Amino acid sequence: MNAQELIDKLNWRYATKAFDASRKLSTEQLDVLLSAIQLAPSSLGLQPYKVLVISNPEIREQLKAAAYNQTQITDASEIIVFATYKDFNLSHVDDFANNIAATRGLQKEDIQGYVDMMNGSVSSKTQEQLQIWNARQAYIALGILLETAALLAIDACPMEGFSVEQFDEILGLSALNLTSVVIAAVGYRSAEDGYQHYKKVRKSKEDLFIKI
Protein backbone atom coordinates (compact mmCIF):
# COMPACT_ATOMS: atom_id res chain seq x y z
CA MET A 1 0.00 0.00 0.00
CA ASN A 2 1.43 3.36 -1.02
CA ALA A 3 0.93 6.68 0.75
CA GLN A 4 -2.00 7.78 -1.41
CA GLU A 5 -3.80 4.48 -0.93
CA LEU A 6 -3.45 4.91 2.83
CA ILE A 7 -4.95 8.42 2.69
CA ASP A 8 -7.74 7.16 0.45
CA LYS A 9 -8.63 4.51 3.04
CA LEU A 10 -8.74 7.12 5.80
CA ASN A 11 -10.92 9.34 3.62
CA TRP A 12 -13.22 6.37 2.98
CA ARG A 13 -13.88 5.74 6.67
CA TYR A 14 -16.56 7.62 8.58
CA ALA A 15 -18.46 7.14 11.80
CA THR A 16 -20.98 4.67 10.41
CA LYS A 17 -24.49 5.48 11.58
CA ALA A 18 -26.34 2.52 10.03
CA PHE A 19 -24.89 -0.97 9.70
CA ASP A 20 -26.02 -3.82 7.48
CA ALA A 21 -27.19 -6.31 10.11
CA SER A 22 -27.03 -9.18 7.59
CA ARG A 23 -23.26 -8.86 7.11
CA LYS A 24 -20.84 -10.20 9.69
CA LEU A 25 -17.10 -10.07 10.04
CA SER A 26 -15.26 -13.33 9.54
CA THR A 27 -13.39 -14.86 12.46
CA GLU A 28 -10.14 -13.92 10.74
CA GLN A 29 -11.18 -10.28 10.25
CA LEU A 30 -12.22 -9.91 13.86
CA ASP A 31 -8.98 -11.50 15.03
CA VAL A 32 -6.95 -8.96 13.03
CA LEU A 33 -8.86 -6.08 14.64
CA LEU A 34 -8.32 -7.55 18.10
CA SER A 35 -4.62 -8.12 17.35
CA ALA A 36 -4.33 -4.45 16.39
CA ILE A 37 -5.88 -3.46 19.72
CA GLN A 38 -3.50 -5.84 21.50
CA LEU A 39 -0.51 -4.19 19.78
CA ALA A 40 -1.65 -0.62 20.47
CA PRO A 41 0.83 1.52 22.40
CA SER A 42 0.08 2.58 25.95
CA SER A 43 1.93 4.64 28.52
CA LEU A 44 4.70 2.54 30.09
CA GLY A 45 3.22 -0.42 28.20
CA LEU A 46 0.77 -1.08 31.03
CA GLN A 47 -2.41 -1.48 28.93
CA PRO A 48 -4.57 -0.37 31.91
CA TYR A 49 -7.85 -1.61 30.43
CA LYS A 50 -9.83 -4.63 29.34
CA VAL A 51 -11.62 -4.99 26.01
CA LEU A 52 -15.00 -6.70 25.79
CA VAL A 53 -16.12 -8.16 22.46
CA ILE A 54 -19.90 -8.50 22.48
CA SER A 55 -21.79 -10.62 19.99
CA ASN A 56 -24.64 -11.91 22.19
CA PRO A 57 -27.87 -10.48 20.71
CA GLU A 58 -29.80 -10.47 24.00
CA ILE A 59 -27.06 -8.54 25.78
CA ARG A 60 -26.83 -6.14 22.87
CA GLU A 61 -30.55 -5.42 23.03
CA GLN A 62 -30.08 -4.41 26.66
CA LEU A 63 -27.06 -2.30 25.77
CA LYS A 64 -29.00 -0.60 22.99
CA ALA A 65 -31.55 0.67 25.51
CA ALA A 66 -28.64 1.97 27.61
CA ALA A 67 -27.20 3.72 24.54
CA TYR A 68 -30.23 5.84 23.66
CA ASN A 69 -31.49 3.17 21.23
CA GLN A 70 -28.71 3.75 18.74
CA THR A 71 -29.06 1.06 16.09
CA GLN A 72 -25.32 0.48 15.75
CA ILE A 73 -25.41 -1.45 19.02
CA THR A 74 -27.58 -4.22 17.58
CA ASP A 75 -26.90 -3.98 13.84
CA ALA A 76 -23.09 -3.95 13.75
CA SER A 77 -21.27 -7.26 13.50
CA GLU A 78 -19.65 -6.81 16.91
CA ILE A 79 -19.59 -4.25 19.69
CA ILE A 80 -16.25 -3.59 21.32
CA VAL A 81 -16.27 -1.98 24.77
CA PHE A 82 -13.13 -0.50 26.27
CA ALA A 83 -13.22 -0.61 30.06
CA THR A 84 -10.62 0.75 32.48
CA TYR A 85 -9.88 -0.34 36.04
CA LYS A 86 -11.82 1.47 38.76
CA ASP A 87 -9.01 0.80 41.23
CA PHE A 88 -5.66 0.78 39.44
CA ASN A 89 -2.80 -0.04 41.78
CA LEU A 90 0.69 -1.45 42.12
CA SER A 91 -0.55 -5.02 41.71
CA HIS A 92 -1.22 -4.19 38.06
CA VAL A 93 2.35 -2.96 37.70
CA ASP A 94 3.58 -6.18 39.30
CA ASP A 95 1.55 -8.27 36.85
CA PHE A 96 3.06 -6.33 33.95
CA ALA A 97 6.58 -6.71 35.35
CA ASN A 98 6.07 -10.47 35.61
CA ASN A 99 4.88 -10.50 32.00
CA ILE A 100 7.96 -8.58 30.85
CA ALA A 101 10.28 -10.97 32.66
CA ALA A 102 8.51 -14.07 31.34
CA THR A 103 8.27 -12.78 27.76
CA ARG A 104 11.89 -11.66 27.54
CA GLY A 105 13.42 -14.47 29.56
CA LEU A 106 14.63 -12.19 32.33
CA GLN A 107 14.69 -12.23 36.09
CA LYS A 108 12.43 -9.65 37.67
CA GLU A 109 15.48 -8.16 39.38
CA ASP A 110 16.88 -7.34 35.92
CA ILE A 111 14.13 -4.79 35.36
CA GLN A 112 13.81 -3.50 38.91
CA GLY A 113 14.74 0.03 37.88
CA TYR A 114 11.88 0.14 35.38
CA VAL A 115 9.52 -1.41 37.91
CA ASP A 116 10.46 1.25 40.46
CA MET A 117 9.83 3.97 37.90
CA MET A 118 6.40 2.55 37.05
CA ASN A 119 5.52 2.20 40.72
CA GLY A 120 6.50 5.79 41.31
CA SER A 121 4.42 7.00 38.38
CA VAL A 122 1.32 5.12 39.54
CA SER A 123 1.79 5.98 43.22
CA SER A 124 2.10 9.69 42.46
CA LYS A 125 -1.43 9.86 41.02
CA THR A 126 -4.80 9.86 42.73
CA GLN A 127 -7.41 7.33 41.59
CA GLU A 128 -9.19 10.15 39.76
CA GLN A 129 -5.99 11.04 37.92
CA LEU A 130 -5.37 7.37 37.15
CA GLN A 131 -8.89 7.05 35.74
CA ILE A 132 -8.22 9.92 33.34
CA TRP A 133 -4.78 8.57 32.44
CA ASN A 134 -6.10 5.06 31.83
CA ALA A 135 -9.00 6.32 29.73
CA ARG A 136 -6.50 8.13 27.51
CA GLN A 137 -4.67 4.85 26.97
CA ALA A 138 -7.94 3.17 26.01
CA TYR A 139 -8.58 5.91 23.45
CA ILE A 140 -5.17 5.27 21.89
CA ALA A 141 -6.20 1.63 21.41
CA LEU A 142 -9.52 2.82 19.97
CA GLY A 143 -7.65 4.94 17.43
CA ILE A 144 -5.53 1.97 16.35
CA LEU A 145 -8.73 -0.07 15.95
CA LEU A 146 -10.38 2.59 13.79
CA GLU A 147 -7.38 2.94 11.50
CA THR A 148 -6.91 -0.81 11.14
CA ALA A 149 -10.59 -1.23 10.32
CA ALA A 150 -10.33 1.43 7.62
CA LEU A 151 -7.28 -0.24 6.07
CA LEU A 152 -9.26 -3.49 5.88
CA ALA A 153 -12.35 -1.76 4.44
CA ILE A 154 -14.29 -2.59 7.61
CA ASP A 155 -16.69 0.02 8.90
CA ALA A 156 -16.58 1.29 12.45
CA CYS A 157 -18.22 3.84 14.68
CA PRO A 158 -16.68 5.16 17.90
CA MET A 159 -19.41 5.86 20.44
CA GLU A 160 -19.55 7.77 23.71
CA GLY A 161 -23.34 8.14 23.83
CA PHE A 162 -24.26 5.59 26.45
CA SER A 163 -24.97 5.31 30.15
CA VAL A 164 -21.78 4.16 31.84
CA GLU A 165 -23.70 3.06 34.93
CA GLN A 166 -26.13 0.93 32.90
CA PHE A 167 -23.42 -0.58 30.72
CA ASP A 168 -21.40 -1.49 33.80
CA GLU A 169 -24.45 -3.12 35.37
CA ILE A 170 -25.48 -5.07 32.26
CA LEU A 171 -21.94 -6.31 31.64
CA GLY A 172 -21.16 -6.99 35.29
CA LEU A 173 -18.12 -4.77 35.16
CA SER A 174 -18.11 -3.55 38.76
CA ALA A 175 -17.45 -7.09 39.97
CA LEU A 176 -14.39 -7.11 37.71
CA ASN A 177 -13.10 -3.78 39.03
CA LEU A 178 -13.87 -2.22 35.64
CA THR A 179 -15.88 0.65 34.21
CA SER A 180 -16.76 1.28 30.57
CA VAL A 181 -15.26 4.32 28.86
CA VAL A 182 -15.90 4.10 25.11
CA ILE A 183 -17.47 1.78 22.51
CA ALA A 184 -16.66 0.86 18.93
CA ALA A 185 -19.20 -0.79 16.65
CA VAL A 186 -17.59 -2.71 13.78
CA GLY A 187 -19.10 -4.29 10.69
CA TYR A 188 -20.35 -3.10 7.31
CA ARG A 189 -22.23 0.04 6.40
CA SER A 190 -25.81 -0.14 5.23
CA ALA A 191 -26.48 1.04 1.68
CA GLU A 192 -29.19 3.22 3.24
CA ASP A 193 -26.74 5.18 5.42
CA GLY A 194 -26.69 8.59 3.78
CA TYR A 195 -23.72 9.74 5.85
CA GLN A 196 -21.37 7.70 3.67
CA HIS A 197 -21.98 10.12 0.80
CA TYR A 198 -21.16 13.29 2.74
CA LYS A 199 -17.88 15.01 2.02
CA LYS A 200 -15.52 14.73 4.96
CA VAL A 201 -15.24 18.04 6.79
CA ARG A 202 -11.90 18.75 8.45
CA LYS A 203 -9.83 21.81 9.22
CA SER A 204 -7.40 22.75 6.47
CA LYS A 205 -3.78 21.82 7.11
CA GLU A 206 -2.98 25.52 7.36
CA ASP A 207 -5.56 25.92 10.11
CA LEU A 208 -4.77 22.67 11.90
CA PHE A 209 -1.00 22.49 12.02
CA ILE A 210 1.45 24.85 13.67
CA LYS A 211 4.99 24.28 12.42
CA ILE A 212 7.75 25.59 14.64
For 72-103, write each residue's pLDDT tens digit: 999 999 999 999 999 999 999 999 999 999 99
121 contact partners, CB below 8 Å, separation of at least 6: 44
Q: Please determine, looking at this structure, whether the domain spanning 13-190 carries the CATH number 3.40.109.10.
A: yes
Per-residue pLDDT for 70 more than 90? yes
**Which CA distances in Å does 112 have to 120, 121, 146?**
12, 14, 35
Question: In this predicted structure, what is the pLDDT of residue 1?
Answer: 87
In contact, 60 and 167? CB cutoff 8 Å? no
For 165-207, write each residue's pLDDT tens digit: 999 999 999 999 999 999 999 999 999 999 999 999 999 999 9
DSSP states along 61-92: HHHHHTTTT-THHHHSSEEEEEEEESS--HHH
